[in-house]
Structure 1
């Protein structure tokens, strides 16, 4: 399966200069929804201030497969700009969008721009540090979403711990990643994740190393299949 990425007005960005930050806005279209995504460029958000190909690929996959989240409980990890979680909410989901505390303002801004007020009660924005406060969340989710969150081998054990906890009641996981040898993400997906999850490649971007995985948790005891070391 292939995905064609279509970005509207990608060569033109509206730039607003505020008292503290510069906001770049890009426009996208998915599932007949026109999204305006703000990126806080100089707010020390690092990778979170970008819309990555993996996020666009996951949105396109939802569009191509006509995914319907109506009435479903969804949590997004590493929401960043919020583009994936926003689309899931527009497609009917009750969506919890999560990231590090300093990123939440960017997410809140994009939710306020793109989610109609009558639907905003279905969106919850919360801080989540993988491997630290994930047990504060009730793992009764139907779907877990993540795009380009497999970026550093340092966080892989915490990410797996968090995914296993959140998927404990049978959630379907959609994980979209750009595979980069420099950070060990091919090995993470091909060798490490299959120890804990049933993994299936459901989409990829033609000409790029961006792959969309569909996963479910393998039911094992901690003694049978321990988590990887955090060291």
Structure 2
């Protein structure tokens, strides 16, 4: 996620994001996520898309047990933490400037027996992808990562690298602007994309994407 400076009372509706922590109950665990909007901005608060994606995972629509997973633009790490609690082996990623904060949340919320199931790693989309196995993930997760137009091409390049034909991509987002729809159109050129869930109260969509498999001539 990109970092933006904190602005006091810029949007009153976002006041909950200014709290120093947020508490959740997922996967039979109490999860306490530290937030730091004042110093780190959008990467250090829990957005609705992350909560909805965690709800979706908890409903069991995706088999997580033993699955090799990666979260992109993890921010506070809530989604990756929940995925690990539900049985996945997770690489939780974000930009270098967010890693210390991210790591603190991960360590604070994982039982000791799950520590080996989670790795926190730097990933700036489109850069250094050779550090991650090509097509090496069963599941790719992203919550509220579609909002900066300049990142769309490197994000899709990253997804192409991480995904095998059978990889499932789950993206949770709010369609705010025309450019958000444009991203989905860009994604559809490389992946099949389906809307699989919609939270009306929060206005959050979850899209499932899979790599397009080239058709062979018979």
TM-score tier by shorter-chain length is 0.7 to 0.9
- Counterpart of 1:32 (choices 5, 25, 28) is 28
TM-score normalised by length of structure 2: 0.85
Cα distance between partner residues in 2 of 1:85 and 1:97:
6
Could you tell me how far 1:50 is from its partner in structure 2? 1.5
Instruction: State the shift of 1:134 in Å.
Output: 1.9
Aligned equivalents of 2:212 and 2:61: distance in 1? 26
- TM-score, scaled relative to structure 1: 0.80
- Aligned pair partner of 1:119 in 102, 114, 119: 114
- Give the counterpart of 2:171 among 162, 175, 179: 175
State which of 39, 58, 62 in structure 2 corresponds to 1:63. 58
Conserved 8 A contact 2:18-2:35: no
The one of 195, 202, 215 aligned to 2:189: 195
Answering whether residue 151 of structure 2 is matched by residue 155 of structure 1, we say yes
**RMSD across aligned positions (CA):** 2.1
Hey, what's the Cα distance between the residues in 2 that align with 1:122 and 1:74? 10
User: 1:96, 1:124 within 8 Å by CA — same for their partners in 2?
Assistant: yes
Counterpart of 1:100 (choices 92, 95, 103) is: 95
Gaps of 5+ in 2: 1-14
For structure 1, the 5+ residue unaligned runs are 1-10, 16-23, 222-231
Show the counterpart of 1:3.
Answer: none
1:165 alignment partner, one of 146, 161, 168: 161
The answer (yes or no) to whether the contact 2:17–2:35 under 8 Å persists in 1 is no
What is residue 50 of structure 1 aligned with on the other side?
45
Aligned length: 200
